[in-house]
Chains A and B, each alone.
Chain A
Amino acid sequence: MGYFLQQLINGLTLGMIYGLIAIGYTMVYGIIGMINFAHGEIFMIGAFISIITFLALGLVGVGWVPLALLIVLLATMLLTSVYGWALERVAYRPLRSSPRLAALITAIGMSIFLQNYVQLLQGARNKPLQPVITGGMRFLEDGEFAVNFSFLQMLIIALTIALMIGFTLLINRTALGRSQRACQQDLGMAALIGIDVDRTISLTFIMGASLASVAGLMFLLNYGVIDFYIGFLAGVKAFTAAVLGGIGSVPGAMLGGLLIGLIEAFWSAYFSVEYKDVAAFAILVLVLIFRPTGLLGKPDVEKV
């Protein structure tokens, strides 16, 4: 029971991180119909900006943890969104009316480019960070084993839930969210009622990147070590999450992220750690075969 509970906590934490990244995939797909394969790299850049900000704050002597965390959070969201914005502006916008394949190949190219860009600037070695948030709650103690719910995990879960609630309200209740949904449903018609489509697409990339940057910060805090290559695996897993939840659906991305995190945690715990990635990708294959619209996705039909 204790073991199960521990895996549940670990899986939830992991799932929150995947979910935050997956939202970026699903929003971009929803609005311009392309898979932004460079999104994992945006997440990685978010993690790097976080570690750089942490070290810089250490140098100037900001020691109080909540303040340092807040500054890092804001800095990484802000700076990473600039990358997300620039990515769309430079690489995708000129190709918007080209065949989809061109945009897809460009996305893969941008992914390779951004990896190498960070590798060149920051070096290829692992970048470790001292644990920032330590301690936690222990319960259900049973001899050697106890369930450990760390403060960090609590923070990750709470912050993600807060962000997702805020984000859902933004999409469903505000004029900006309405414009975004209008663009998702019919880009040409959205322009015909006076929505600046280019601006809305830019904002989508900015939002996706800032959520991914928070995931990057969480990844850094959770694992304590990052390198230029972390975006690849996390990106593909989050993409799997988006497909599982139904690509184009924001609640689907959150749900898919959680499920992938849980599946990975339980698979590692009860079957084998080595094959946890296989489990996640087997799900991608199964979903694509049996339920291509995902769990919450909408099929492409409408009443005429």
Chain B
Amino acid sequence: MSVLRVEGLHAGYGHIEALHGVDIDVAEGEIVTLIGANGAGKSTLLMSICGNPRASRGRIEFLGEDITRLPTHAIVRRGLAQSPEGRRIFPFMSVLENLQMGASTTDARHFDADLERVFTLYPILRERRQQRAGTLSGGEQQMLAIGRALMSRPKLLLLDEPSLGLAPLLVRQIFSVIREINVRDRVTVFLVEQNAYHALRLAHRGYVMANGKIVLSGSGQDLLANPEIRKAYLEGGR
């Protein structure tokens, strides 16, 4: 069953259109990645799935329901969470408060168990729970952003470049947690990445975006082996 279905989506900022008819399909239990160069429209796609910027044309379905015209808070309350570009943790709140904010849409009875789960995935957050989030390192902020998204018990997790600006060891750690969330917690993941090599190895399927359109799609293995992909996104950088 498809969790997320995007059909012919057009969206942009003001008069500038960034997405020119995008089709995406994410099935339950999958990790699907979206790769592409800077400015291809990847982040715009994630944000417009959440209703900001709003789709000017096309249709977005979440768990079979049309969410194209819903306000952002109503969309995420249906079980979709995003860890957005730039992490956007609340810098003047403590780590714990950030996680509490993530849980603002869920039943308070789950809170302790969910918190424990996030602390198990990222033990450093437990140590830093009373620290102001703005003073965390980049990697810790990324863990917090993912943790905050998980606190809402999402059925679908949208991740925007979780590896950006992190040291290789941390990148590996972030990716292994994404796999664990997918396998153990059965969260469907839609992952936007520039780090194509890691993303394609992790994902079941991938899409390639260029200039606001999907130009290629296939299984992670196929895309990794595709000579065009290798030339454009893989060789010269891992």
A181/B93 in contact, CB under 8 A: yes
B84/A193 in contact, CB under 8 A: no
Which of the residues A178, A188, A192, A298 comes within 8 Å of B97, measured between beta carbons? A178
Nearest B residue to A196 via CB reads B73
A194/B90 in contact, CB under 8 A: no
Total contacts A to B, CB within 8 angstroms?
A: 70
Q: Which residues of B contact A175 (CB under 8 A)?
A: 100, 104
Cα distance A291–B144 in the bound complex, in angstroms: 33
B42 vs chain A, min Cβ distance (A): 16
B148/A193 in contact, CB under 8 A: yes
Interface residues of A in 32-64 (CB under 8 A from B): none
B104/A185 in contact, CB under 8 A: no
Which of the residues A182, A303, A304 comes within 8 Å of B90, measured between beta carbons? A182
Name A's interface SS: helix
Instruction: Tell me, yes or no, whether B195 is within 8 Å of chain A by CB.
Output: no
Which of the residues B76, B97, B134 comes within 8 Å of A193, measured between beta carbons? B76
Contact status of A298 and B92, CB under 8 A, knowing A191-B72, A191-B73, A193-B76: yes
Instruction: Tell me, yes or no, whether B56 is within 8 Å of chain A by CB.
Output: no
Contact status of A195 and B88, CB under 8 A, knowing A303-B135, A304-B138: no
Instruction: Tally chain A residues at the interface, Cβ within 8 Å.
Output: 21
A185/B50 in contact, CB under 8 A: no
B73/A185 in contact, CB under 8 A: no
Contact status of A193 and B101, CB under 8 A, knowing A182-B93, A185-B92: yes
Which of the residues B50, B82, B91 comes within 8 Å of A302, measured between beta carbons? B91
Which of the residues B86, B93, B104, B135 comes within 8 Å of A194, measured between beta carbons? B104
Instruction: Tell me, yes or no, whether A280 is within 8 Å of chain B by CB.
Output: no
A250 vs chain B, min Cβ distance (A): 12
Cα distance A179–B105 in the bound complex, in angstroms: 11
B97/A194 in contact, CB under 8 A: no
Q: Which residues of B contact A (CB under 8 A)?
A: 50, 52, 71-73, 76-77, 81-82, 84, 86, 88, 90-93, 97, 100-102, 104-105, 134-136, 138, 148-149, 152
Q: Which residues of A contact B (CB under 8 A)?
A: 175, 178-179, 181-182, 185-186, 188-197, 298, 302-304
Q: 18 A-B contacts, Cβ less than 8 Å apart?
A: A175-B100, A175-B104, A181-B93, A186-B88, A186-B90, A188-B88, A192-B82, A192-B84, A193-B76, A193-B102, A193-B104, A194-B76, A194-B104, A195-B104, A196-B73, A197-B73, A304-B86, A304-B138
